[in-house]
Amino acid sequence: MTQTDRQGTEVIRGWLAQRCGIHFPEHKLDQLRQRLAKVQREFGVTDLSDMAGQLDLADATALQLAVMHAASTNHTYFFRESDVLDHFRDHILPDLANRDEIRIWSAACAAGDEAYTIAILIAETLGPAALKRTQILGTDISSPVIAEAEEGDYPLNRLDRIPAELLSRWFEPAGPGRKRVRRELRDVCTFRQMNLKTMPYPFKKSFQAVFCRNVLYYFEREDQVATLRALHDVTEQGGWLLTSVTENVREVCAPWKPVANGVFRKGGL
C-alpha cells in the first residue's frame, strides 16, 4: 500500500460518505481498497489518488457510478424477511385492495428481487387483475444492479427461497440454469438509478408504501434522519414505510409512527 493510495482512499471514503451516505469504518478500509482496485484497472487510472482527483471532474459520471457500485453491497434475495412481508400482505394490501392505483417504491432495490417479490404478493393476495393498476418503482444507486433488475433473469440458485408453486406460476425458463420473471410482473416494475441522498425526491405522485430495507444501516444517523424524512414527504397520508427488522431506526424514525417491527406509518391513522 503506497502513501498515495492511502491518501486517495481517504478522499474517496469522504466522497462516498458525502455523496452517497455510504460510510466505511476504519476496519473496512481494506475491503474498500480491494473493491476500488477493480475500478482502477477498468478505468486505467494510475492509483487511488489519481482516481480521487478524477472523481469530481465534469465528465466523470461513468467513474462516479463505478465507484458507487464498487462501494455498495448489493446482497438481496426474493422473499427476504418474511415478517415484514407478512405484515404487508395481511395488513397493508387489504387497505389497498380497492384503490384505482397501487403505487409502491422499492428504494435501494438492488437487482430487483424485492420489487418482484412485492409484485408476486400483490398478484397472489389481490388477484392477478390487480397488477393492471399497480406500479412498482425500484431504484438503486448502482447502475449495474438496475440493469439486472430490468432483465429480471436470474440463476436458479438466486430463486431457491421462492415457494415452488410461486416459482412455476411467476417465472419462465430462460436458458440453462436460469429463469426469468414473467412479463405480467416485469410490466408493473420500473427501475431507475437514483441516489437516496439526493433530496427532495422527484416524484409527482405519492406512494402508498415505501420499502427501504437493508440500506439505512450504511448511513450515518444524520443521513438516516434526512432519508426517513424525505421518504415521509413522498408517501401519502396514512401510507407505510417498511424497513428491515435488523435496522434499528425506531429512535430516528420521527415523523413516522412505529406500528410493528420494521413497519411505520405516516399520520395518526
User: Applying CB under 6 A, which residues contact ligand SAM?
Assistant: 20-22, 72-76, 80, 108-110, 114, 140-142, 145, 195-197, 213-215, 218
DSSP designation for 26: G
Q: Cα(75)–Cα(77) distance, rounded to whole angstroms?
A: 7
* Grid cell at residue 257: 409512527
Give the Cβ contact number of residue 254 at 10 Å.
13
Q: Dihedral sign, CA of 142, 257, 81, 222?
A: positive
CB of 197 to ligand SAM, least distance (A): 5
CB of 108 to ligand SAM, least distance (A): 3
Give CA separation, 122 vs 94, 138, 186, 222, 255, in Å: 10, 15, 13, 34, 27
Given 35, 133, 158, 180, the catalytic residue: 35
Given 5, 113, 140, 223, the catalytic residue: 140
Minimum CB distance to ligand SAM smaller for 125 or for 143: 143
Nearest alpha-carbon partner for 149 in 157, 134, 158, 139: 139
CB of 72 to ligand SAM, least distance (A): 3
Q: Dihedral sign, CA of 80, 82, 88, 89?
A: positive
Active site residue 153: no
Nearest alpha-carbon partner for 199 in 19, 75, 37: 19
Minimum CB distance to ligand SAM smaller for 60 or for 199: 199
CB of 106 to ligand SAM, least distance (A): 7
Q: Letter for the amino acid at 244?
A: S
Minimum CB distance to ligand SAM smaller for 166 or for 226: 226
Minimum CB distance to ligand SAM smaller for 134 or for 142: 142
Minimum CB distance to ligand SAM smaller for 49 or for 120: 120
Whose cell is 434526512? That residue is 226
Active site residue 35: yes
* Grid cell at residue 147: 440493469
CB of 229 to ligand SAM, least distance (A): 15
* Residues belonging to the active site: 35, 140
